Amino acid sequence: MLSNIELNHLKTFLVVAEEMNFGRAAERLHIAQPPLSRQIKRLEESLGVQLFHRTKPQIQLTEAGRALVLEARRILKQVDLGVQVTQRASRGEIGQIILGFEGFSSADIVPLSIQAYKQQFPDVHIVAKEMSTGEQLQALLEQRIDLGFIVPRKVDESLMLETILREPLVLAVSETHPLASQDQVQLGQLQDEPFILGLNTDQCGLYSAVIRVCHQAGFTPEVSQVTNETQLMLGFVAAGMGIALLPNSIRRFRRDGVVYRSVQPSTAEIVLAIGWRITNSCPTLEQFLQVVRDTANL
């Protein structure tokens, strides 16, 4: 029975209920009176009830008709709301994005992208999870995150990677260290220095980048401390426990006892990319990707 009820019939019924006159209702709906009367008749047949007492010159709602007025308004309002929600979802204005990021990227591009995105799409819920590059790639394959901020590497063919920035590595060193007196430091000068690195695993993009540039300079770094926590890493540096090579955006973090120095050669850099599943065509993701691109180009 319910499948035979058309929304248009409910709208027509409400107009008739408001006008209490078939002629005036027909004029308001810009249709002839006979088709309007047939719509009301079909609605009554579908429901199995009489909705109006057809008395002249004015009709009257039956008890069932009065009940349907309330329900029809509620139903049509809910349908309108459903249409609005559906249209907003198709435009990427509502929904959820789950993203992964390495700790070092949280200094700049990740929070700036989220801030810019939330200004445009305040009703989209964002969940950010700190993960290594390797963990993010696995999470993407398992559909546990929608987007990852990762250090580029060879990935599964089902994933798409797009480089968004190249950032020079800088030296974080204790303000009392001899190297703190130099404006620039040659990478080779760090050969005998104790390094503070991320966890010793190729899952970590920053770890891999630091090892790579040190090898290019002709040495393997001597690791004194390991941690993936940026603030803890800077704390170790301030305590004189070692030095660290970090992305240039780390300069935003001011830490007592720590100074930052440029590193030569200029090829000492870290590359950051965004990664997502090729099959993920969610509008919220597409909007977020564009915001990240715009933010990276500022």
Q: What is the pLDDT of residue 1?
A: 47
The residue with greater pLDDT, 43 or 203, is 43
Q: What is the pLDDT of residues 123-162, one digit of tens each?
A: 999 999 988 888 999 999 999 999 999 988 888 899 999 9
Task: Give me the pLDDT at residue 41, please.
Answer: 93
Q: Answer whether residue 136 is part of any domain.
A: yes
Domain boundary pick from 29, 62, 90: 90
Report the predicted TM-score, pTM, of the whole model to 2 decimal places: 0.67
- Output the domain CATH number for residue 117: 3.40.190.290
pLDDT in tens, 28-66: 999 999 999 999 999 999 999 999 998 877 799 999 999
Residues 136 and 31 reside in one and the same domain: no
Same domain for 62 and 115, yes or no, is no
Examine residue 34 and state whether it is found in any structural domain, yes or no. yes
Number of structural domains, the chain? 2
Average pLDDT value over all residues in the chain: 89
The whole domain housing 16 covers: 2-90
Same-domain check for residues 105 and 173: yes
d(CA 85, CA 90): 9
Mean pLDDT of 261-289: 91
Q: pLDDT tens digit string along 158-193? A: 999 999 988 899 999 999 999 999 999 999 999 999
SS3 165: strand
Same domain, yes or no: 33 and 155: no
Residue 106 confidence (pLDDT): 56
Pairing type for strands 244-247 and 222-226 reads unpaired
The residue from 55, 90, 125 where one domain ends is 90
**Chain center to CA of 59:** 55
Asked, for residue 155, whether it belongs to a domain, the answer is: yes
